[in-house]
Amino acid sequence: MLINGKQVDLNEPATFYENRFNHGTFFPYLSQAIRHAVAVPSARQQQAASIVTQSGEQFGWAEISLLHDHLRHAQAEHSTPRRA
């Protein structure tokens, strides 16, 4: 998928940083890091949160939300039975 003109690999390893001061949580797939990030209770969500991929791409909340919407749409499309 493309985001901000860049190709994004949802299968690439990534780390979610809840804020600038923690060590981050590693995930084998960017898609897992995205789902984890949006599952953080809103009371704990901080503006400085980010996801950094193994290749060095960094995503803030705006991009994380966009990527999550893409994942939800793709999952819904995949789980909807097709008519013959």
Helix, strand, coil percentages (3-state) for the chain, rounded to 5, are: 35, 20, 45
Q: How many other β-carbons are positioned within 10 Å of the β-carbon of residue 68?
A: 16
CA–CA gap between residue 9 and residue 13 (Å, rounded): 9
From first to last of its 84 residues, the chain has per-residue pLDDT tens of: 777 788 899 999 999 998 888 889 999 999 999 999 999 887 677 778 899 999 999 999 889 999 999 898 887 776 666 565
Predicted TM-score of the model (pTM)? 0.82
Give the residue among 21, 3, 72, 79 at the shortest CA–CA distance from 12: 3
